[in-house]
Amino acid sequence: MSETPDNAVRTYIQQHRAAFLDDLAEWLRIPSVSAQPEHDGDVRRSAEWLAAKLSETGFPVAEIWPTPGAPAVFAEWPSGDPDAPTVLVYGHHDVQPAAREDGWHTDPFEPRITDGRMYGRGAADDKGQVFFHTLGVRAHLAATGRTAPAVNLKLLIEGEEESGSPHFRALVEQQAHRLAADAVIVSDTGMWSETTPTVCTGMRGLADCEITLYGPDQDIHSGSFGGAVPNPATVAARLVAALHDEDEQVTIPGFYEGVAPLTDEERELYAELPFDEETWLRTAKSHGTLGEAGYSTLERLWARPTAELNGIGGGYQGPGGKTIIPSSAQLKLSFRLVAGQEPDKIERAVTDWVAARIPAGIRHEIVFGAATRPCLTPLDHPALQSVVRAMGRAFDGHKIRFTREGGSGPAADLQDVLAAPVLFLGISVPSDGWHAPNEKVELELLLKGVETTAHLWDDMARTLR
Amino acid sequence: MSETPDNAVRTYIQQHRAAFLDDLAEWLRIPSVSAQPEHDGDVRRSAEWLAAKLSETGFPVAEIWPTPGAPAVFAEWPSGDPDAPTVLVYGHHDVQPAAREDGWHTDPFEPRITDGRMYGRGAADDKGQVFFHTLGVRAHLAATGRTAPAVNLKLLIEGEEESGSPHFRALVEQQAHRLAADAVIVSDTGMWSETTPTVCTGMRGLADCEITLYGPDQDIHSGSFGGAVPNPATVAARLVAALHDEDEQVTIPGFYEGVAPLTDEERELYAELPFDEETWLRTAKSHGTLGEAGYSTLERLWARPTAELNGIGGGYQGPGGKTIIPSSAQLKLSFRLVAGQEPDKIERAVTDWVAARIPAGIRHEIVFGAATRPCLTPLDHPALQSVVRAMGRAFDGHKIRFTREGGSGPAADLQDVLAAPVLFLGISVPSDGWHAPNEKVELELLLKGVETTAHLWDDMARTLR
């Protein structure tokens, strides 16, 4: 029935498993920490290593793309079929900082395999998940007897994701013609758990701003002047308090305009996930839930926009008291956005809302950072269905469920610039310890990633044709 | 008509004016900065200088009273008349820090006389205003032919006022029997202006607290968790915003309980003062007024209690953005209190109000600092009328008007511990530059202070008998 017999794929993977893991371990040994300047050379070395490995894998094109920061790697393997759709895989080869003294049981850059897991910085985030594409495409060719993939396969593996992807958008814009694709596969997320395979269907967007409020020209005495002049820190606090109503809904007019409502299907599917609030609170290191009335925790995290206070400061913050009216105060707000919300419109709405709430005698400034748009692929999107089918085969017919990501990422830049749907294919699980000591990847799941991509290109070639 | 003929007093003052100013200048040369440990020796020297000067003035008792911090000076000159009332004068001999580079035109500790003003740190706050009592009592004796004052005169001149009077309350409690008085005269305030002589009738009290709010065990990712858990910085802001209603009235239940209302007479008298909002805003370095509905700016400052945010901090306050939910936040609030409010009751009301507003998942701590009670002398108090009469004679029959102080001070400790009414006698004016560079005292007003006290003791002896 399928063009890539499952047994052939599995056999091929088993035969090449050892070399695959050896190669991944070699890559993990390169401490490509983009946030630490002393590792700039390692990040470059990581890019070179990957480009060479992709050439070796068979990609006819494998290039280092410099940026003003760390280099990205681009590779391309044309299908040869003029009707074949084009798929772009996104990942990153830089990693979070790691040091033995942070609590690692062994050297974070000397990978080791124990109990079916490979430990090492980048094992899951994101080198392991980039790397399963190399064996995946080979297994696809081996099982189908093809000499080139069923889709025009492109890879863009950036080197600055752990530093906030400062040059990614510009790179994608500059190289838009070479990156053009019918679909984008992002392999930089995860699944619900080891026993609940899932596909992520979207990420929230992000707009953020800093608001500075100016009152008296200097801190003034709260005895001599208190009760008669506006206090900029109080105004800051009042802005924050006014952001939400008693249902924890954001009060800014127009904020929810266009928000894609959760479908009944999505709500049912999310409700079916084995969500345990106590476990989740431990992950969140929090001691209670609080959110928009009428939505579950998962719905709040995945499908609802937020207004969050990331920082506030004004007046005296040292030990003891100081009887002043502060001369200024500052707020940092961020807004997670969901499908249907446009950062530009949100920024205008926030700007107007803030301006309307500043009393006489207080001056304010508002500055927005670079925004990230939300992305969401509908459950019935053909490319998404293709990912679900391929994953289902890798997971022995296990039902594939759906999640979303509450965070925001460069995936949205690809979606926007390339005007292509973004799909998420990740096999990492919450216990993998992203950004934490003793990061690991489950080898069985890593190979399920290989297997999924081995099935995926054929399926997508048919689906997107 | 008066027992101390005005001419005799003026003649005496003119005769001794030069020596008086020389002595004050000598005292101002001692940099008795209580907040700077390197000046500890100077603060002690200042106390010794003053005690010696008071002995020389004629006080039979002039003692240095040590504290765990800087020493105070106590002096006593019994009237000899067993029926004479006892008056305690309060002031301080320590000064604010001052350095040439802060903007002083000349050395702050090398006083100079120019255009009828003496410039130097402490000229007005408070050495000048302590010192007019020395020539004042001598003029009183000279004009009346007495050998001891008409009242039992006591002076308590503390050495830590500019450092928040940390040991003052304990000192007053320990020495309550020696400080016992029928009235307290505080000479550490000022008048409305050079052309509008006034008597201050009260100060606001003060209660302050620090509230810390704890949410997640560490800063958590606002993408992964935002919208579903409580944010302690948001809770902090909501507390601040909830402190006042739309009329800028404090919402804490019981907050206004017992507050002495402004009398019609007070409101009329305050309204008569030549208050210019633009000038006042320049003094306040502010750009607008805001306060409790139904009250003028002066009424808000002098006669109404406040809840003020002195500082707030939580989450990321560095440059740019950081997408976190902070793990904690902190507020510093202070409450100015007016006659009729009890700090203890206010602290309980605040504690209960805060506790009731903390959502599940947030833990909080609240810590109060040492409170200061408000003090207020009614306009018809006999001792106050005595001060007004004495001042009226010094100011050539000029109408003496009334003010209050928005700030809080150790005067309240004297009122509480000694159970005596507190009266304020000060001749400083707003342009004197307290705590600022180029502090000065107007010589003409300084001598009006001398003259007022020269008339005062007789008047009080009769009034309080």
Q: Find chain B residues with C-beta within 8 A of A241's C-beta.
A: 234, 237-238, 240-242
Distance CA B352, CA B334 (A): 16
Q: For CA atoms B286, B291, B293, B299, give the dihedral sign.
A: negative
Question: DSSP string spanning B247-292?
Answer: TS-B-STTTTTTPPPPPHHHHHHHHHS---HHHHHHHTT-S-----
Q: How far apart are CA A449 and CA A366, in angstroms?
A: 44
Residues 18-37 of A with CB under 8 A from B: none
**B227, B311, B316 ranked by CB distance to A311: nearest:** B316
Closest partner residue to A406 among B224, B312, B326, by Cβ?
B224
Chain B residues touching A228 at Cβ < 8 A: 284, 289-291, 297, 300-301
Specify whether the CB–CB gap between B390 and B452 falls below 8 A. yes
Residue A285 has its nearest CB partner, among B217, B323, B329, at B217
Within an 8 Å CB–CB cutoff, is residue A286 touching chain B? yes
| Residues of chain B contacting A233 with CB distance shorter than 8 Å | 240, 309, 311-312
**Contacting residues of B for A329, CB less than 8 Å apart:** 312
Query: Residues spanned by CATH 3.40.630.10 within chain B?
Result: 6-203+374-463
* pLDDT reported for residue A3: 45
Dihedral angle sign, alpha carbons of residues B170, B173, B176, B177: negative
- In chain A, CATH 3.40.630.10 covers 6-203+375-464
User: What pLDDT does residue B1 have?
Assistant: 41
A·B CB contacts under 8 A: 301
Structure tokens at A457: 């290109």
**Closest listed residue to residue B46, CA positions, set B24, B61, B18:** B24
Q: Which residue of B has its CA nearest to A280?
A: B225
For chain A, the maximum distance between any two Cα atoms, rounded to a whole number of angstroms, is: 86
Nearest Cα of chain B lies from the Cα of A7 at a distance, in angstroms, of 38
What is the structure's pLDDT at B5?
A: 61
Contact A286 B221 (CB under 8 A): no
Question: Facing residues of B212 across strands?
Answer: B330, B365
Distance CA B458, CA B9 (A): 13
**How far out from the chain centre does Cα A194 lie?**
20
B111 interface with A at CB cutoff 8 Å: no
Enter the tokens of residue B18: 């030069």
Per-residue pLDDT 10s for chain B (465 aa) are 444 467 899 999 999 999 999 999 999 999 999 999 999 999 999 999 999 999 999 999 999 999 999 999 999 999 999 999 999 999 999 999 999 999 999 999 999 999 999 999 999 999 999 999 999 999 999 999 999 999 999 999 999 999 889 999 999 999 999 999 999 999 999 999 999 999 999 999 999 999 999 999 999 999 999 999 999 999 999 999 999 999 999 999 999 999 999 999 999 999 999 999 999 999 999 999 999 999 999 999 999 999 999 999 999 999 988 899 999 999 999 999 999 999 999 999 999 999 999 999 999 999 999 899 999 999 999 999 999 999 999 999 999 999 999 998 888 899 999 999 999 999 999 899 998 899 999 999 999 999 999 999 999 999 998
Query: Residue ranges of chain A with pLDDT lower than 50?
Result: 1-4
Strand partners, B87: B153, B183
CATH hierarchy code of domain B207-259+305-368: 3.30.70.360
Report ipTM (2 d.p.). Answer: 0.91
Touching A: B residues 237-266, CB under 8 Å: 237-244
Q: Where are the beta strands (DSSP E) in B29-163?
A: 61-65, 72-77, 86-92, 112-114, 117-119, 152-158
Distance between B18 CA and the closest CA of chain A, angstroms: 34
DSSP state of A205: E
> Is the CB of residue B286 less than 8 Å away from at least one CB of chain A?
yes
DSSP conformational letter for A428: B
CA distance A117 to A444: 8
Nearest CA in chain A to B362: A287
CATH number of A6-203+375-464, picked from 3.40.630.10, 3.30.465.10, 3.40.50.300, 3.30.450.40: 3.40.630.10
| Number of neighbours of residue A64 by Cβ within 10 angstroms | 14
A208 neighbourhood in chain B, CB within 8 Å: 321, 323
Q: Tokens for B359, please give them.
A: 């959502």
| Burial zone of B418 (CB within 10 Å; 0-12 exposed, 13-18 middle, 19+ buried) | buried
Order of all β-strands in the sheet with B117-119: B112-114, B117-119, B440-442
Pure H helices in A175-305: 176-179, 222-225, 232-242, 264-272, 277-283, 297-303
Contacts of B75 (CB under 8 A, 6+ apart): B51, B54, B55, B59, B61, B62, B63, B154, B155, B157
Please list the residue range(s) of chain A that carry CATH number 3.30.70.360: 205-259+305-368
| CA A445 remoteness from chain centre | 19
- Chain B residues 211-230 with a CB less than 8 Å from chain A: 215-218, 220-230
Strand partners, A86: A152
CATH assignment, A205-259+305-368: 3.30.70.360
Superfamily of domain covering B6-203+374-463: Zn peptidases (3.40.630.10)
Number of helical H runs and strand E runs in chain A:
14, 18
Measured between beta carbons, the chain B residues lying within 8 angstroms of A213 are none
Residues of chain B numbered 157-216 and touching chain A (CB < 8 Å): 204, 206, 208, 210, 215-216
From the list A215, A285, A301, the residue facing B286 with the nearest CB is: A215
CA dihedral sign of residues A303, A307, A311, A317: negative
- C-alpha distance from B209 to closest chain A C-alpha (Å): 8
- Asked if A236's CB is within 8 angstroms of B289's CB, the reply is no
